[in-house]
Chains A and B, each alone.
Chain A
Amino acid sequence: MIVDQIIWLPILTALIIVALGEKRSELSYKISLFISILVFGLSVYVLYLFDPTTSGFQFVLKTQWIERFNINYHLGIDGISLPLILLTTFLTPIVIYTAKTTSKNKLHQYLASFLLLEGLMVGVFSAMDAFLFYVFWEAMLIPMFLIIGVWGGKNRIYATVKFFLYTFLGSVFMLIAIIYLYLKSGSYLITDFYYLPLQVNQQIVIFMAFLFAFAVKIPMWPVHTWLPDAHVEAPTGGSVILAAVLLKMGGYGLLRFSLPISPEGSMTLAPLMITLSLIAIIYIGLVAIAQTDMKKLIAYSSISHMGFVTLGCFVFFIEGNALNPATINLAINGAMIQMISHGLISAALFLSIGVMYDRLHTREINDYGGIVTTMPKFATLMVFFALANAALPGTSGFVGELTVILAAFKANGFIASLSALTLIIGAAYTLWMIKRVIFGPVKNEKINQLNDMNKLESISLGLLALSILILGVWPKPLIDLMNESINLLTLFITGT
C-alpha cells in the first residue's frame, strides 16, 4: 500500500500543479516541496518498517491489471531497491527546493516534471512485474525529455532528442526480450523469469537484449555519448536527477534482470563486460581530464564511476573456475554502494556547479579561478565533494571503490590494478578542476563581486555533504539493508 502512495502521490500532485497553471507557481512550489518531503518521510517510514533479515520482497501489492496477458499491477520492495528508492526520494526534495535559485519560466511545469519523475523512478525500482517495470522505465523519458528540452541550454534540442532516441532505441530491445520471456514463462512476473530453464545461447541473446537497454542508461562505453550532451544542456536539477538516479536504473536492471535471468549468459559475456567497464574507468577517466566544461567533466567522471558498478556486477565471474559466493557478495555489495554514493556525490557536484552557474552563467573552467576568496563556505563544500569524488576514505565514494577493488583482486590481480588506476586518474581530473576553479588568484572582477551561498544552497549542499560523510564513516547499516537480498541474488547467480 505505502509503496503505492510513494509512487502515486507525487504523480497526482504533478497533475494538480499543472492544472494550477503558471499564475500560481509560488503556491505550486510550496505544494510540491511539501509533497516531496512528505514522500521522503513515507519512504523513511518504509525503511523503518523494512525487515532486513528477510531476502524476499516486502510491502507486496498485487492486483490484476491486464487479465488477457496475465499482467499484474505488482509492486514490492527488497534490499536492492530500497536504497535506490531512498536515494530518489531524498534527492527530489533537494532538487525541488533548489528550483527557485534562478527564476524559471513555467516553474510549475518544471516542478511537475520532477514530481512525475520521482513517482516513475520509484515505480521502476519497486515494480515486480516486468511489464509494469517497462511502463515506468519508458514513461520516465517524457518528463526528462521536457526538462532538458524546455529549461536546457543553447544546444538543448539536439541533446534532448539524442537522449530520447538513444534510450528509446536501447529499451525497445528490452521490450522484445521481456515479451519473449513472457511467451516462455506465461507470466510477466520478474521472479518467474529467474526459474526459466534457458539454454546458454538463449541466455546470451536475452542478455544482449537487456544489455542494450541497461548499457545505454548506465551508460557504458561506447553508448555513453548521449550523457555528456544531456548533462551539459540540462538544467541543474535535471543533471542532478539524471546523474544521481536515472543512471542507477541501468545498474539496477543488471542486478534485477540480467544476472539472475541469464547467469550463464552473463558468465559467457563477463569478459566483454569487464573490458567495457575498464575502458569506462580508464579511457573515460582520461577523457575527463581533457574537459574544459565543468558539467562535461563531471558527466564523464560519472561514466567512469559507473564503470565500477558494472565491474562489480561481473568481475566475480572470472575468478578461478568456480564461482565463489563470498566474492559475488563482496562485488555486488560494492556495486550497490558505488551506485548510492555516486548518486549522492554527483548530485552534490552538479548542484555546486549549478551554484556557480547561477552566478556567472558559464560552465567553462577557464572563466573561473579563486572562487574560494569570495565564497569560502561554498569552496569548502565543493572541495569536500571533489575529494569524495576522488574516493577519499571517510567519504562514501571510497567504500564502493574499495569493495569493488578488493573483489576484483580476488578475481584477477590485473583487472584490479587497472581499475585502481582510478585513484590517480580520478584525483587528477577532479582536483585539476578544483585547482583551476576554486583555488588560485581571483580570475576576474565578476568573481570579486560574488556572494557566498544563500540559505537554500547551503542547506541542500550541507545535507548532501552530511550524508556522504555518514555513509563513508559508517556504511554498515546500508549494507545490512541489502545483504539478505544480495545473498538471494548470489544464489540465483551461482544457480543453486
Chain B
Amino acid sequence: MLYQLSVLVLVVPLIGGILAGFLGKTTGKTFTNTVTIFSVLASFLISSYILYTILNQPDLIFNQNIYRWLEIGSYSFNIGLLIDNLTASMMVVVTFISLMVHIYSIGYMHDDPGYHRFFSYISLFTFAMLSLVMANNFLQLFFGWEAVGVMSYLLIGFWFTKESAIKANFKAFIINRVGDMFLLLGIALLFSLSGSLDYSTVFSSGPMINNQLFFITENLSVSALTLACILLFGGAMGKSAQMPLHVWLPDSMEGPTPISALIHAATMVTAGVFMLARMSPLFELSESALSFVLIIGSITAITTGLLGLVQFDIKRVIAYSTLSQLGYMVVAAGVSAYSASLFHLMTHAFFKALLFLAAGSVIVALHHEQDIRNMGGLRKRLPVTYTTSLIGTLALIGFPGFSGFFSKDALIEAVAHSTVYAHEFAYYCVLIGVFVTSLYSFRLLFIVFHGPLSEHNNNVQEPQLSIVLPLILLSIPSVFVAWPTVGPMVFDSFFSNSIVQPTSIELFGYEFTDSLHFLTHALSGPVTYIAISGIGVAYLFYIKQPEIPNKLALTFKPIYKLLREKYYFDYLYENILAKFFSSLGNSLWNLGDIKFIDNYIVNGTARKIESLSNKAQLLQSGYIYHYALMMMLGLSVFLGWVIINKIGMAS
C-alpha cells in the first residue's frame, strides 16, 4: 500500500511535468498550471500521509526495489525506494516548498513567454529531487543528483537570450560536474569494495570496508573508507556549494526568483547535506573524513557570510546567506549531529524560501529592479512583504523563538560539545558566523525597507495574491515549525531508523525536556546575544550613520576589494583554469594533431612517396640509349652477381 503510494509520489510530478511540457504550449496557461500544481499538491498530500503513517507505525518503513535496472553477471543494479523518517520528512519539505513555488510562479511568471516550459521544468525538478531523496541505492542517488543538476541548468538558463544567464548555467553545470565526478568515484570505490550499490549492502559492509586500505603507491596507502567518504563529500561540495566549489550558486541567481527559492535555497542545494545524513553509517566510521567535512563546512560558513556584506543585488545577498547556512548544516554533519543539520535544513528551507519569495515580490513590485541601492523605505508600500521578510530575517539570524533559533542553537551546541579534530576552529567560525549573519540580513532589511522612500518608487504596491499568499503560508512554519519538532527531530530518536549518530547527550551534553526549557537554556549561551549585537551594529551602520560602511570600506580597502572580488575564486576559475584548459586543448590540437600526426607523419609519408616517385620517373628519360643502358646494367648485375657468388664459394 505504502509502496504504491510512494511510487505515486514519485511519478505524479513527472507526469505533470511531461504533460505541461508537451501540451502546455497548445492548451494554454490555465491547463499548465492546474495540471502541474495538482500533481505537486497530490504528491505533497500523499507524502504527508506517508510521513504521518510511518510516524504512527514505524514497522511500515520499507526498502523495496521497483525494477532491476541492469544485471551483469553477479552484479545487479536496481531502481528502488527506501522510505523511512528521513526520506519521508524530506519528501514533505520538498513537495511543500515546490507547491508554494508553483503557486507563487503563477503570478511571478505570469506574462513570460516560456510559461509552460517553466512549469514543466519545476515539476520535473520536483520529480528528480524526490527520486534523489527516495533512492535506496547509489545509482538512483546519482541519477537524481545529476537530474536536479540538469533541471537547475535549464532553469538558471531559463531566459536563454541573456548572455549572463547562459554563462551562469554553463558554469553551474560544469562545477556541479566536478562534484559529481567525485561522487561517482566515491560510488565506484564503494562498489569495488562491497560489490554492490544498494545502501543496505554497502552500509552493512561498512565495518568490513573500514579496515581495508587503498594503495596510492606501493607503500603509501589510506583507509579506503575515509577516501570513499571524502569522495562522496566531494559530491556534496558541488551540490551544496561548499568552498571552493561554491562559485556557481551566486551566479545561479540569474534564474527566475522562484527557482532561487526552490532549487538554490530550499531543496537542491541541501541535497549534499541530505546525502551526508544518508551516509552517516559510513561517515561515523571515519573520524578524519568527519573533520574534513567539519573544516570545509566552517570555512564556507564564515567566508561566504562575509561576502554577503558587500553585495548590492538583493538576491545575491540572500544567495550568500544561503551558502553560509549550508556551511552550518555541513558543520553539523561534521560533528556528526546529523539530526541538527537536517533540522536546520528543514527550518532553513522554510525561511530561506520565504526570504527569496519576498525578495521576488519586491522585485516584481519594482518591475524587476534588483539593486538594493535603488530601494529603500518600502515598508509602507509593501507591508505584507515587509512583515514576512522581517519574520524570515529573524528566523534566519536565529532570533529567540523563531524556527531558525532552535535549529541554529542546537547545531552550535553540538559543535561546542564536539570532540572531533578542529572543533574549536569550527566553534569560533560558527559564532562569528552568527554575528555576520545578523549583520548582513539586517543590512539588507534596513536598506530595502527602511530609510527614505525614493520618489520613483512612490506608486509601488503589493503584487497579486498568488505571490503574497505563499509568503504568508511560508512565514507560518518559519516561526512555529521548530516548537513542536525540535524535540523529536533533534534530541529524540526520530531519525534513529535512518541515521547513525551518537545520543543527544553525547552530542549536546544537555537533557531535553521541552522546547520552552530549551529556549531558556539556549539564552544562557552566547549565540543569541551575538545575534542581537549584530542587529545593533546593522542599525548603527545603515540607519543611524549610513556613512560608516563607506568609511570602513575606504580604510580597509584591500579587504573590501577582496570581498568584492569574492576572494578571486571566479577569477581563478574563469581566467586561469578555463583559459588554461582551452589553450591546452588548442595547442594539443594544433601541435599534436595537425602539425605532428597529420602534417608530419601522415601527409609527410605521402609527400615522401610522391617525391620518391618523381625521382624514380627520371629513369624514363625517353632516350632509347638510356633504356638500353638499363637493360645492359640489369644483365651485367646478374652476371656479376653470379661470378661473385662463384668466387665466394671458391674461396
Interface residues of A (CB under 8 A from B): 162, 166, 222, 225, 228, 283, 286-291, 325-326, 329-330, 333, 370, 372-373, 383, 387, 392-394, 399, 402-403, 405-406, 408-410, 413, 416-417, 420-421, 423-424, 427-428, 431-432, 435, 438-442, 474-476, 479-480, 483, 487
Known: A424-B174, A442-B161. A410 touches B192 (CB 8 A): yes
Proximity bits, B171-201, A CB within 8 Å = 1, else 0: 0011001101100110011011000000000
B625 interface contact, C-beta 8 A: no
13 other contacts beyond A409-B188, A432-B170, with CB at 8 A cut-off?
A162-B602, A166-B602, A286-B585, A326-B75, A330-B73, A330-B75, A394-B146, A405-B185, A424-B181, A439-B166, A441-B161, A474-B67, A483-B71
How many angstroms between the C-alpha atoms of A487 and B72 in the bound complex?
10
Question: Is B602 a contact partner of A225 (Cβ separation < 8 A)?
Answer: yes
Q: Of B74, B146, B163, B191, which is within 8 A of A409 by CB?
A: B191
Question: Is A441 a contact partner of B163 (Cβ separation < 8 A)?
Answer: yes
How many angstroms between the C-alpha atoms of A421 and B182 in the bound complex?
10
Q: Of A326, A431, A440, which is within 8 A of B163 by CB?
A: A440
Known: A225-B602, A283-B588, A372-B160. A424 touches B177 (CB 8 A): yes
B592 interface contact, C-beta 8 A: yes
CB distance from A130 to the nearest CB of B (A): 29
How many angstroms between the C-alpha atoms of A286 and B584 in the bound complex?
7
B586 interface contact, C-beta 8 A: yes
| B72, B146, B582, most chain A CB atoms within 10 A | B72
Known: A420-B181, A423-B177. A288 touches B585 (CB 8 A): yes
CB distance from A472 to the nearest CB of B (A): 9
In the complex, what residue of chain A is closest to B170 when comparing beta carbons?
A435
| Pairs A–B under 8 Å by Cβ, sample size 14 | A225-B602, A287-B588, A287-B589, A291-B589, A325-B73, A370-B160, A393-B139, A394-B147, A403-B70, A408-B188, A409-B185, A413-B192, A421-B181, A479-B70
Question: Is A435 a contact partner of B73 (Cβ separation < 8 A)?
Answer: no
B573 interface contact, C-beta 8 A: no
In the complex, what residue of chain A is closest to B141 when comparing beta carbons?
A393
Question: Is B173 a contact partner of A420 (Cβ separation < 8 A)?
Answer: no
In the complex, what residue of chain B is closest to A333 when comparing beta carbons?
B72
Known: A288-B585, A394-B147, A424-B181. A487 touches B73 (CB 8 A): yes
CB distance from A104 to the nearest CB of B (A): 29
Enumerate the 7 nearest inter-chain pairs by beta-carbon distance, A residue then B residue, closest first. Answer: A409-B188, A286-B585, A290-B585, A393-B143, A329-B73, A289-B585, A439-B160
Question: Is B184 a contact partner of A423 (Cβ separation < 8 A)?
Answer: yes
How many angstroms between the C-alpha atoms of A474 and B160 in the bound complex?
32
B66-80 residues with Cβ-Cβ distance < 8 A to A are 67-75
Q: Of B69, B72, B143, B170, which is within 8 A of A431 by CB?
A: B170
CB distance from B598 to the nearest CB of A (A): 5
Question: Within 8 Å CB of A387, what residues of B?
Answer: 150
In the complex, what residue of chain A is closest to B143 when comparing beta carbons?
A393
In the complex, what residue of chain B is closest to A429 when comparing beta carbons?
B585
CB distance from B477 to the nearest CB of A (A): 33
In the complex, what residue of chain A is closest to B190 when comparing beta carbons?
A409
CB distance from B581 to the nearest CB of A (A): 6
Question: Is A290 a contact partner of B586 (Cβ separation < 8 A)?
Answer: yes
Question: Is A416 a contact partner of B588 (Cβ separation < 8 A)?
Answer: no
Question: Is B166 a contact partner of A440 (Cβ separation < 8 A)?
Answer: yes
Question: Within 8 Å CB of B631, what residues of A?
Answer: none
Known: A290-B585, A423-B180. A409 touches B192 (CB 8 A): yes
The interface size of chain B toward A, counting residues with CB under 8 Å, comes to: 50
In the complex, what residue of chain B is closest to A288 when comparing beta carbons?
B585
In the complex, what residue of chain B is closest to A226 when comparing beta carbons?
B602
Question: Is B589 a contact partner of A326 (Cβ separation < 8 A)?
Answer: no
Known: A330-B73, A427-B174. A286 touches B184 (CB 8 A): no
In the complex, what residue of chain A is closest to B197 when comparing beta carbons?
A406
How many angstroms between the C-alpha atoms of A150 and B186 in the bound complex?
50
Question: Is B146 a contact partner of A392 (Cβ separation < 8 A)?
Answer: yes
Question: Within 8 Å CB of B597, what residues of A?
Answer: 222, 225
Question: Is A330 a contact partner of B174 (Cβ separation < 8 A)?
Answer: no
Known: A286-B581, A289-B582, A479-B72. A417 touches B173 (CB 8 A): no
In the complex, what residue of chain A is closest to B214 when comparing beta carbons?
A413
Question: Is B146 a contact partner of A326 (Cβ separation < 8 A)?
Answer: no
Question: Is A431 a contact partner of B192 (Cβ separation < 8 A)?
Answer: no
Question: Is B143 a contact partner of A416 (Cβ separation < 8 A)?
Answer: no
B142 interface contact, C-beta 8 A: yes
Question: Is A474 a contact partner of B584 (Cβ separation < 8 A)?
Answer: no
Proximity bits, B63-98, A CB within 8 Å = 1, else 0: 000011111111100000000000000000000000
In the complex, what residue of chain A is closest to B113 when comparing beta carbons?
A373
Question: Is A409 a contact partner of B189 (Cβ separation < 8 A)?
Answer: yes
How many angstroms between the C-alpha atoms of A180 and B479 in the bound complex?
83
CB distance from B69 to the nearest CB of A (A): 6
| A330, A370, A413, most chain B CB atoms within 10 A | A413
In the complex, what residue of chain A is closest to B587 when comparing beta carbons?
A290
Question: Is B166 a contact partner of A326 (Cβ separation < 8 A)?
Answer: no
Question: Is B173 a contact partner of A427 (Cβ separation < 8 A)?
Answer: yes
Question: Is A399 a contact partner of B70 (Cβ separation < 8 A)?
Answer: yes
B593 interface contact, C-beta 8 A: yes
B157 interface contact, C-beta 8 A: yes
B614-631 residues with Cβ-Cβ distance < 8 A to A are none
Question: Within 8 Å CB of B589, what residues of A?
Answer: 287, 290-291
CB distance from B212 to the nearest CB of A (A): 12
Question: Is A392 a contact partner of B71 (Cβ separation < 8 A)?
Answer: no
Question: Within 8 Å CB of B163, what residues of A?
Answer: 440-441
Question: Is A329 a contact partner of B592 (Cβ separation < 8 A)?
Answer: no
Q: Of A225, A394, A416, A417, which is within 8 A of B598 by CB?
A: A225
How many angstroms between the C-alpha atoms of A215 and B641 in the bound complex?
44
Question: Within 8 Å CB of B180, what residues of A?
Answer: 423
| B75, B153, B167, most chain A CB atoms within 10 A | B75
Known: A290-B589, A394-B143. A420 touches B185 (CB 8 A): yes
